[in-house]
Structure 1
């Protein structure tokens, strides 16, 4: 159970740039999304807009469908043999589940960073960054690869730490560095959206802060959706929040969603207030 009152005051992160960048990414919208594993319904008619140029945090207790919803957003849910879903997910004007829409096209536009850092251990740091290019059919000339590696590692906040050891194994980095390497790998294919499933849960406070700073900078160019159980983190990094809940065996659903400041400061539902203030969860 989180105890928000025992932690440091909530202060939003300030962007390190000049603040004049136009919003990047693309709006991701879910409409009436329901999901099942076999006969068990785990999500009930979830509708949510995740706006371009912002970070949307998905919060709520374990088992309420946040990670399932996140996986639906880039078509990972359908990889589970018993999984099924209903509803619609649109990236801009495109229905990502539309007829003829290839999964690889969706994965190129909607990247994922997982809870546990997963760099390819046999690959060098530089090779890890460019690993997704072949998988998504993205062609980059040999001469442009070095620039791409530097750009992505810089955007992920890692370049200064690894610039002199790009040929060393990615698996030799610290946990926080590995997670930022995974972010750099996701950025290399130029996604519109980056999904993050508890990206800091296994990291120390210093690494967590660096990841949060990276998230705040990236939202200038990429729409970000993050699942987190850390209420302090949700308040620091996000502009919008959606509170998920599954009560007494019912499927997960959104109790309320809106600007982060309102969800934490003046929520409409008492259950939201109880959760963000650490009274359950």
Structure 2
């Protein structure tokens, strides 16, 4: 790891370089802030000085063509990028003003506070539905009594929009659920560790329209209590679920950058950059 030291003026410069500024009315105390993030896989640079302030209690969508670094950026936010042997990065990721890559910051603490839901549902297939929910707390060392575990399972499955469908079969294997149900089970598992931020990497890309609608309803309900960042290639989904939006682009082999960032409605209806307008209207990508 190679975190750099930056100042607020450096961050402002990075936004200006990318052609993107903070959204109107944004507060200074963002729940999660990336400053000057650059990333490599070996010698291949995939992100160039990306800065983004994510406001608490908001859903922020990351859009852009495949290969522009959106998923890499998402994985940097909760320290998954460093698990790839050839990967490296520079910059800072601040959660409540503290750099998660700073000295003395434990990776397990970052993972507890910044949860992740992946593109493909990944429940533990032979583990029961209830035990899938409890796997996260067990992994991070949360000690719970029997009644606490039962309450947590019901609470998280309810928040994930799954409780009514599975409450009579909590001991059934998670792998027996449908794809959409498995994805909501993974959301419940992530919620069980009480994260401050929930990252979602194309969570609906493999789901049918009905399951997609239920996941989107879950996202909207969760936004009141957890900050959500979602990567999506579905422009209609970005407009439906997010309040703020960042458009990533990598042109002619250059590393990915943020071209535009602001309120979702403005990004889609009156963007300041022609490339954003072309992308959201399907003219490339």
Q: 1:222 aligns with which of 226, 230, 238?
A: 226
Which structure has more relative contact order (CA 8 Å, sep 6+)? It is 1
Which of 137, 141, 151 pairs up with 1:137?
A: 141
Q: In the TM superposition, what is the alpha-carbon distance from 1:133 to its structure 2 partner? A: 1.1
**TM-score normalised to the size of structure 1?**
0.90
Gaps of 5+ in 1: 1-25
2:176 matches 1:172: yes
State the Cα distance separating 1:196 from its structure 2 match.
Answer: 0.2
TM-score (norm 2): 0.89
Alignment of 1:104 onto 2:104: no
The reply on whether 1:45 has 2:83 as its aligned counterpart is no
CA distance in 2, matches of 1:119, 1:254: 32
Q: Give the match's secondary structure for 2:144.
A: coil
Equivalent runs, 1:107-186 vs 2, <5 Å: 107-186=111-190
Q: CA deviation at 1:147?
A: 0.6
Deviations 1:140-184 (A, max 9, x none): 112210010000000000000000000000000000000000000
Matched residue pairs, number? 256
The unaligned stretches of length 5 or more in structure 2 are 1-29
Question: Following TM superposition, by how much is the alpha carbon of 1:90 offset from its aligned partner in structure 2, in angstroms?
Answer: 0.3
Specify which of 71, 77, 81 is matched with residue 81 of structure 2.
Answer: 77
| CA distance in 2: counterparts of 1:265 and 1:49, whole angstroms | 22
**Which of structure 1's runs of 4+ aligned residues deviate more than 6 A?**
none
Residue 197 (structure 1) aligned to one of 186, 196, 201? 201
SS where residue 164 of structure 2 aligns? Answer: helix
| Alpha-carbon distance, 1:260 to partner | 0.2
1:206 is matched with 210
Aligned counterparts of 2:139 and 2:102: Cα–Cα separation in 1? 21
CA distance in 2, matches of 1:143, 1:231: 42
Partner residue of 2:14?
none
Instruction: Give the CA RMSD over aligned residues.
Output: 0.7
Helix, strand or coil: the match of 2:142?
A: coil
Distance 1:97 1:222 in 2: 21
2:253 maps to 1:238: no
Deviation at 1:95, TM superposition (A): 0.9
Q: Does the residue aligned with 2:132 lie in a helix, a strand or coil?
A: helix
Paired residue secondary structure (2:82) = helix
| SS of match in other structure, 1:189 | coil
- Aligned-pair CA distance for 1:94: 1.5
Q: Supply the distance in 1 between the matched residues of 2:266 and 2:35 (Cα, whole angstroms).
A: 23
What SS is found at the alignment partner of 1:236?
Answer: helix
